[in-house]
Amino acid sequence: MISRRHIRVKVMQALYAYKTRTDVAPAAAEKALFKTVENCHALFVWVFSILPEVVRYRANKLESFKEKNNPTEEDLNPNTKFVDNKVIAQMEENQTLQLLMEQYKVKWDNDLDFIIAVFKQIEESDIYKQYMSRPKGDYEEDKQFVLDIIQHVFGESEYIRWFFGEKDPNWVDDYFEALSMLYKNVDAFKENKGSECRIYSAFINKQDDEYLCRHLFRTVLAKDAEYEQLIESKIQNWDMDRLIGMDIILLKMAICELSEFPLIPVKVTMNEYIEISKMYSSDKSKIFINGVLDKIIEELRNTGKLNKTGRGLYQN
């Protein structure tokens, strides 16, 4: 389930790409936007499949040690706690994950070197060493181990992120979002569900999230001139042509959310676009966006264009 913040990022990137090209129709740009969302979910499936593949590699390796001419006691009776991890077994046996892997053409046949390298990173971590030093535990210990590997080994590995960036440059941006999805999904696993644990789809709420994505993109394009005029009226001491293009796009998206999405609270919109500006614009952008949005919110309230209902009334 891709977060709403990442949906906003995808819309921002799509608007920026559309603005910088003159040969793309709005419908084609919108189609490309939804393709980037699907690609993010594809990356989620790829990273989901890493640990079962690593366990398969390690299990085969342990079996091969027994075939040595002079196997040691450790070769004959290895510590199998990692390869017997109950949560990774659930991942391996999950039919939904297998179907998604087929859908996104996830195959590791030609990437054995990557799988070996990932196992070495896991094996060298304190998380793995401490886990393997303890007797076999319960399901919750196995789950916590997997969560720690996702957070600390996958999350801190520039190599894994680079690997996926080589497959698709957009995945460099999507990597941490995919890991966040994976962490939350595994954390929701239950022992009694066996191989039927739920695997997250691209959207938390398909209807609402698709609407946010589509309506935000379409409305910013349709009301571009109106939003630009509103922004210009609040930055009288600034030259629009000298402002960072990404800041203007973020402001237009925020205006759209404030006026077109009655169920999204004002503070949520403010916080989201300030946070996105920290990641994708200049150091001073958050101050600029915060100041301009304060003025815009005041005008929208005074002109009756800030109509929030239901949960959109919270924290306003």
- Based on the fold, state whether residues 189 and 227 are members of the same structural domain: no
Band of the pLDDT at 287, cuts 50, 70, 90? confident
Domain range for 174: 4-196
Does residue 73 form part of some domain?
yes
- Based on the fold, state whether residues 263 and 137 are members of the same structural domain: no
- Based on the fold, state whether residues 170 and 38 are members of the same structural domain: yes
pLDDT digits (tens, 9 = 90+) for 70-129: 999 998 999 999 999 999 999 999 999 999 999 999 999 999 999 999 999 999 999 999
- Based on the fold, state whether residues 69 and 153 are members of the same structural domain: yes
Q: How many CB atoms lie within 10 A of CB 267?
A: 11
Q: What does 170-217 look like in DSSP terms, one character per residue?
A: THHHHHHHHHHHHHHHHHT--GGGGGG-----S-SSHHHHHHHHHHHH
Asked whether the beta carbons of 265 and 311 are under 8 A apart, the reply is yes
Domain count within the chain: 2
**pLDDT tops 60 at residue 242:** no
- Based on the fold, state whether residues 176 and 250 are members of the same structural domain: no
Residue 135 φ then ψ, to 5°: -60, 160
Band of the pLDDT at 243, cuts 50, 70, 90? low
Section 296-303 average pLDDT: 94
DSSP at 201? -
List Cβ neighbours of 130 (8 Å cut-off, separation of 6 or more): none
Q: What is the pLDDT of residue 308?
A: 80
**pLDDT tops 70 at residue 35:** yes
Band of the pLDDT at 315, cuts 50, 70, 90? low
| SS3 assignment, position 83 | coil
Q: Residue 250 is part of a domain; what is its CATH number?
A: 1.10.940.10
Give me the percent of the chain exceeding a pLDDT of 90. 84
**pLDDT tops 80 at residue 236:** no
pTM comes to 0.91
Section 7-20 average pLDDT: 95
CA 231, CA 296: separation in Å to the nearest integer? Answer: 8
Q: How many CB atoms lie within 10 A of CB 206?
A: 11
User: Residues 18, 21, 27, 28: what is their CA dihedral angle, to the nearest 10 degrees?
Assistant: -110
